[in-house]
């Protein structure tokens, strides 16, 4: 079995496969919780397609959480704090990602702050952030809320949860992380668990999971759900599952068993 970091690389490459139409060029980012204090995240400017070990940096969680609690007033300060959180020591399975930036260390993705927040507050181990065309067709329209808050078929419920957390548009980076934290906390208060799928208006999606396989499954199902909803809208008569049926499906013991199996595949 491959180690967690190798699984992160494989997952990132899969999400970046042009045939899937999830991201192009430098879009998207992924992360892996390494331990209680740190995580690996795609480096800024790296492409997900064909990425290698040197395309990631390891980052301390605490400084980024502190930045969310006491936001700096300038982008320069934000970048300095984020760069200072980069870990200089190598991990046994995480080579130093050096080259081309001040101090000899690669810069974490601009979205590193929301990765730190989600890994900390939601208990996820892996995160995959992409911009699928099929999903953004809806997130860049007046149908974003309908797509996020309603479910249309059983396996959408099983893989993506009873609802998605819908985040209003915010400037990528710290403003988005702050808005996302607000929405995620409200979702956890309502549902007594973290969301599996976060949808960002006019931006993209974020999948949270225990394994790389779960991230791939959630993302794929979200894209399928978007295509189905878009097709239903073309008929002029889209429908959705009743809320009580969604809850029933999500809590059914056999579906919970299937969901656990999907995490492992």
Domain boundaries, the chain: 4-264
Per residue of the chain (265 residues), give pLDDT as tens.
579 999 999 999 999 999 999 999 999 999 999 999 999 999 988 999 999 988 999 999 999 999 999 999 888 999 999 999 998 434 434 444 443 333 445 788 889 999 999 999 999 999 999 999 999 999 999 999 999 999 999 999 999 999 999 999 999 999 999 999 999 999 999 999 999 999 999 999 999 999 999 999 999 999 999 999 999 999 988 999 999 999 999 999 988 888 888 887 6
Q: Does the predicted model carry a pTM greater than 0.75?
A: yes
**E-strand stretches of the chain:** 29-33, 38-42, 56-60, 126-130, 165-167, 197-200, 204-209
**In the structure encoding, which two tokens stand for residue 198, read together?**
């976060």
Lateral strand order in the sheet of 126-130:
56-60, 38-42, 29-33, 126-130, 204-209, 197-200, 165-167
Q: What's the CATH number of domain 4-264, 3.40.225.10, 3.30.390.30, 3.90.180.10, 1.10.645.10?
A: 3.40.225.10
Q: How far apart are CA 17 and CA 223, in angstroms?
A: 14
């Amino acid at each position: 079995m491959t180690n967690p970091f190798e699984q992160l690389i494989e997952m990132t490459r899969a999400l970046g496969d042009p045939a899937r139409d999830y991201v192009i060029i430098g879009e998207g980012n992924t992360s892996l919780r390494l331990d209680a204090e740190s995580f690996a995240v795609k480096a800024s400017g790296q492409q997900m397609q064909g990425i290698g070990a040197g395309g990631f940096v390891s980052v301390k969680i605490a400084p980024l959480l502190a930045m969310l609690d006491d936001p700096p007033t300038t982008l320069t300060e934000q970048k300095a704090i984020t760069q200072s959180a980069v870990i200089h020591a190598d991990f046994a399975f995480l080579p130093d990602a050096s080259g081309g930036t001040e101090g000899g260390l690669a810069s974490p993705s601009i979205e590193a702050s929301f990765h730190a927040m989600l890994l900390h507050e939601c208990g996820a181990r892996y995160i995959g952030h992409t911009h699928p065309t099929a999903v953004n067709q809806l997130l860049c329209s007046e149908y974003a809320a309908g797509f996020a808050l309603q479910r249309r078929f059983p396996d959408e419920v099983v893989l993506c949860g009873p609802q998605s957390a819908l985040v209003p548009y915010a400037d990528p980076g710290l403003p988005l992380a702050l808005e996302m934290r607000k929405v995620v906390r409200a979702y956890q208060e309502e549902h007594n668990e973290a969301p599996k799928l976060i949808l960002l208006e006019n931006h993209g999606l974020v999948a949270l999971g225990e394994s790389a396989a779960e991230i791939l499954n959630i993302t794929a199902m979200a894209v399928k759900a978007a295509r189905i909803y878009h097709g239903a809208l073309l008929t002029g008569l889209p429908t959705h599952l009743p809320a009580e049926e969604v809850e029933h499906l999500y809590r059914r013991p056999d579906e919970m068993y299937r969901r656990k199996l999907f995490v492992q595949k």
